[in-house]
């Protein structure tokens, strides 16, 4: 089963008892905008998870702008929303799947059962005439146990070591201008991790905002050998998650997320910085 699911697929399953739909809308620089949009209207029955309050932990000296949440705290948050490890979770946002993909990756990391990202997002759902609601259902708290999958996570040291290895590929998921160091809108230093290849995550979407099919994803990543370990990163460990999903959908098995990403890398003064094309 693919991770990316269509609006009709969601519509057909949205009221099934083992399904929980999670609204992940968020706007950087306007931290309350996603929750306000959810309270105004959302897919019926959906619950809301906030990138910074629920899907990240507080910022520290290292760890980047969106450090991973404490697994124990995240498991409690999921349980409060009535989610168990067996719940079929469908995540959506209105930002091309970037924030929903962060939740997807976190669920994979926790060893969760089936999880999906809805293609196109909330605006497309509403524009298609599908139901929306302002009602917030009462959720019966559940219990949530997890088994972490550390093989999905790369540390800063892993990335540093990857620069001298032929069997590891590092992919930068940011806009090419940020990768090349021509501009930097988020972080205090511009450029990229030396040796990293650039695959802007938005290239996974077509002109209508739909995800590529699996065969096109295979073409998209064809320059990368399948037998190598791949580490994806971005600015803060969020927009790399679509590339994590895309690579998995294209048949790559050894894919890791450098969760601290560029904002963590540059928090270590000794780490080198590259600019321009590799």
Print burial letters for 134-167: b (CB count within 10 Å at least 16), e (below 16). eeeeeeeebebebeeeeebbbebeebbebeeeee
- Of the candidates 22, 106, 231, 234, the residue annotated as catalytic is 234
Specify whether the CB–CB gap between 106 and 89 falls below 8 A. no
Question: Which DSSP category does 42 fall into?
Answer: B
Q: Is 234 a catalytic residue?
A: yes
Cα angle, residue 199 at apex, residues 74 and 218 outer, rounded to 5°? 90
Compute CA distances 231 → 10, 49, 178, whole Å: 30, 26, 18
C-alpha 152/C-alpha 68 separation (Å) is 13
Query: E strands along the chain, which residues?
Result: 4-5, 19-23, 47-48, 88-92, 115-118, 153-154, 168-172, 197-198, 229-233, 255-258
Which residue shows structure tokens 């999905």? 152
Distance, CA of 16 to CA of 162 (rounded, Å) = 44
Residue 254, judged by CB atoms within 10 A of its CB (0-12, 13-18, 19+), counts as middle
- Our measurement of the distance from residue 200's CA atom to the centroid of its chain's CA atoms, rounded to an integer in Å, reads 14
> Hey, which residues are catalytic here?
234
């Amino acid at each position: 089963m693919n991770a990316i699911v269509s609006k009709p697929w969601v519509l057909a399953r949205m009221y099934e008892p083992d399904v929980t739909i999670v609204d992940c809308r968020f706007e950087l620089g306007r931290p309350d905008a996603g929750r306000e949009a959810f309270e105004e209207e959302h897919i019926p029955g959906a619950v809301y998870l906030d990138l910074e309050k629920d899907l990240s932990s507080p910022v520290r000296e290292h760890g980047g702008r969106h450090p991973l949440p404490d697994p124990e705290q995240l498991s409690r948050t999921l349980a409060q929303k009535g989610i168990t490890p067996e719940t079929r979770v469908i995540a959506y946002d209105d930002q091309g799947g970037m924030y929903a993909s962060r939740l997807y990756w976190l669920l994979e990391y926790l060893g969760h059962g089936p999880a999906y990202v809805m293609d196109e997002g909330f605006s497309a759902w509403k524009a298609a005439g599908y139901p929306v609601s302002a009602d917030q259902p009462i959720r019966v708290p559940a219990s949530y146990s997890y088994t972490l999958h550390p093989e999905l996570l790369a540390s800063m040291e892993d990335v540093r070591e990857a620069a001298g290895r032929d069997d590891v590929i590092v992919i930068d998921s940011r806009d090419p201008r940020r990768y090349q160091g021509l501009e930097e809108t988020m972080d205090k230093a511009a450029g990229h991790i030396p040796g990293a290849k650039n695959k802007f995550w938005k290239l996974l979407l077509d002109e209508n905002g739909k995800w590529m099919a699996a065969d096109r994803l295979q073409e998209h990543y064809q320059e990368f050998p399948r037998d190598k370990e791949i580490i994806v990163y971005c600015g803060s460990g969020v927009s790399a998650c679509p590339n994590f999903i895309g690579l998995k959908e294209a048949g790559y098995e050894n894919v890791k997320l450098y969760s601290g990403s560029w904002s963590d890398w540059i928090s270590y003064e000794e780490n080198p910085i590259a600019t321009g094309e590799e």
